Amino acid sequence: MEGGRLNALTHNFLVSKFRGYYLESSLDAPPSIASREWGFLFFDDSGMRRHKSFFSRGELVDYVRAMVPRHVYHSAAYYQRPGAPTMKEKLWQGADLIFDLDADHLRNAPKSYSEMLELVKKETQKLLGFLTADFGFSEKMISVAFSGGRGYHIHIRDPRIFTLGGDERREIVDYLTGRGLDIERLRFKVLISGDVGADKVRALRCPAENSPGWGGRFNEAVVRFAEEIRKLDEKSAVKRLTEIKGIGEVRAVEFYTRIKNDRVLDNIRTGNLDSIKGVQDIWKYVINNYLADQFVEVLGGETDEPVTADVRRLIRCPGSLHGGSGLRVTPLTLRDLEDFDPLQDAVVFGEEAVLLQILKPFKTQMRGVSYNLEEGATELPACVAVFLMARGVAEARTKH
| pLDDT of res. 350 | 94
**Domain assignments of the chain as residue spans, ordered by start:** 8-175+303-347, 183-297
Query: For the ranges 116-120, 181-185, 192-196, 206-210, which has the lowest average pLDDT?
Result: 192-196
Catalytic residue among 233, 304, 310, 341, which? 304
Nearest alpha carbon to residue 10 among 366, 323, 363: 323
Beta bridge partners of 98: 155
Degrees to nearest 5, angle at CA 242 with 241 and 245: 105
| pLDDT of res. 188 | 56
Nearest alpha carbon to residue 23 among 66, 53, 86, 57: 66
Q: What string of DSSP letters covers 224-263?
A: HHHHHHHHS-HHHHHHHHHTSTT--HHHHHHHHHHHTSHH
Q: What is the rounded CA–CA span in Å between residue 157 and residue 137? A: 9
Catalytic residue among 100, 182, 310, 341, which? 100
pLDDT above 60 for 194: no
Put residue 148 in one of left, alpha, beta given phi > 0 → left and psi -120 to 50 → alpha: left
| pLDDT of res. 182 | 67
Per residue in 287-317, pLDDT (tens digit) is 777 776 666 666 666 778 889 999 999 999 9
Q: Given pLDDT bands bounded at 50, 70 and 90, which one contains residue 195?
A: very low
Q: Do 329 and 322 contact (CB within 8 A), yes or no?
A: yes
Q: How many CB atoms lie within 10 A of CB 313?
A: 18
Q: Given pLDDT bands bounded at 50, 70 and 90, which one contains residue 183?
A: low
Catalytic residue check, 100: yes
Across the range 42-53, mean pLDDT stands at 91
Q: Do 149 and 342 contact (CB within 8 A), yes or no?
A: no
Per residue in 53-106, pLDDT (tens digit) is 999 999 999 999 999 999 999 999 999 999 999 999 999 999 999 999 988 777
Cβ burial 378-389 (10 Å sphere, 16+ → b, else e): bebbbbbbbbbb
Q: What is the rounded CA–CA span in Å between residue 275 and residue 390? A: 59
Q: Given pLDDT bands bounded at 50, 70 and 90, which one contains residue 230?
A: very high
| pLDDT of res. 198 | 47
Query: For the ranges 41-45, 189-193, 217-221, 260-264, which has the lowest average pLDDT?
Result: 189-193
Q: Do 371 and 363 contact (CB within 8 A), yes or no?
A: yes
Instruction: Mention every residue, 6+ apart, whose C-beta is less than 8 A from residue 239.
Output: none
The conformation of residue 61, written as its DSSP 8-state character, comes to: H
Catalytic residue among 44, 45, 102, 199, which? 102
pLDDT above 80 for 161: yes
The conformation of residue 289, written as its DSSP 8-state character, comes to: I
Q: Do 313 and 302 contact (CB within 8 A), yes or no?
A: no
Q: What is the rounded CA–CA span in Å between residue 209 and residue 295? A: 14
More confident residue, 28 or 207: 28
| pLDDT of res. 93 | 97
Catalytic residue check, 262: no
Instruction: Mention every residue, 6+ apart, whose C-beta is less than 8 A from residue 357.
Output: 376, 377, 378, 394, 395, 396, 397
Could you give the C-alpha distances from 65 to 23, 30, 263, in angstroms and in order? 6, 18, 64
Percent of the chain whose pLDDT exceeds 90 = 59
Phi and psi at residue 392, to the nearest 5°:
85, 20
pTM above 0.75, yes or no: yes
Highest mean pLDDT among 38-47, 53-62, 121-130, 201-210: 53-62
Choose which CATH entry (3.90.920.10, 3.40.1010.20, 3.30.420.40, 3.10.180.10) describes domain 8-175+303-347: 3.90.920.10
Tell me, what amino acid is at 145?
A
Across the range 194-223, mean pLDDT stands at 72
Q: What is the rounded CA–CA span in Å between residue 380 and residue 375? A: 13
Q: Which ranges of the chain would DSSP assign to H, the alpha helix?
A: 8-24, 57-67, 87-90, 113-129, 166-177, 214-231, 234-242, 249-259, 262-269, 282-286, 292-299, 305-309, 334-337, 342-345, 382-391
Query: For the ranges 36-40, 78-82, 286-290, 343-347, which has the lowest average pLDDT?
Result: 286-290
